[in-house]
Amino acid sequence: MTYDILFVVASVVAISAALMVVLSGNPFISSLSLIANLIALATFYILLQSDFLAAAQVIVYAGAVMIMFLFVTAYLGGRADEPTRQRPWWQTLAALVAAAGIAAEIVFGVERESFLHGPVVSDAFGAPQAIAASFLGRYLLAFEGTSVLLLIAAVGGVVLATRRPAPRGADEPGAFEVEQPVRVQSLQSSVMQRETEFEIVRSGTGADEKDEG
């Protein structure tokens, strides 16, 4: 009974937090909602007797990855906000159809199947010892590949984040062409500019006068 209640609470939290991530306009609220979503998923992992994965989820995801997200959101400031432009209605419709379609397909496909209860497993099922035995035994190649991938990602992240934009010549086209917004000049400012465009006539400089004197 406690199992069922925990499942219902975790699924409500996970789904509503995911909706908040997708629908909220504030990137901070989106990031914080994703943390709630990840913790609800860690609850699911505990319910599925995968204790080590639940711990890894909280430490790696809700800890490290989301802190990085929050730092970048704070660094970008207002630029992280959603660009306020009207999107075409068919885009929203197509996204709704695709998302609801794939979710409904899997849900109905799974519900139709009469899954029996899983086998009774021992307490050591999701323990770190069992995971380590798998990783260092049968899946050693995947383990090594993962470590190489993480090394490459760390180096790539440092390179991407520390390199300054290279100075470019005036005639040299850049990889990311900066689009300057077209400044619309108001009528008043253009009239004012026209009025102040009179010729400046200088009648000799101070140095000349000193020489004459």
Partner 1 sequence: MHVGVQWFVSVSAILFGIGLYGVFTRRSPLILLLSVEIMLNACNLALISFSRYLGQQSGQVFALVVMAVAASEVVVGLGIVVAVARRKGDLDVDRLTGLRH
CB of 55 to partner 1, least distance (A): 11
CB of 185 to partner 1, least distance (A): 20
Task: Tell which one of 39, 58, 157, 203 touches partner 1 (CB under 8 A).
Answer: 157
* Closer Cβ to partner 1, 110 or 184, answer by number: 110
Task: Tell which one of 2, 89, 165, 199 touches partner 1 (CB under 8 A).
Answer: 165
Binding range to partner 1, per CB under 8 A, among 132-140, 185-193, 196-204, 205-213: 132-140
CB of 204 to partner 1, least distance (A): 47
Interaction mask 167-196, partner 1, x per CB under 8 A:
-------xxxxxx-----------------
- Note whether 141 binds partner 1 by CB under 8 A: no
Q: Which residues have CB under 8 Å from 39's CB, separation 6+?
A: 13, 58, 62
CB of 203 to partner 1, least distance (A): 46
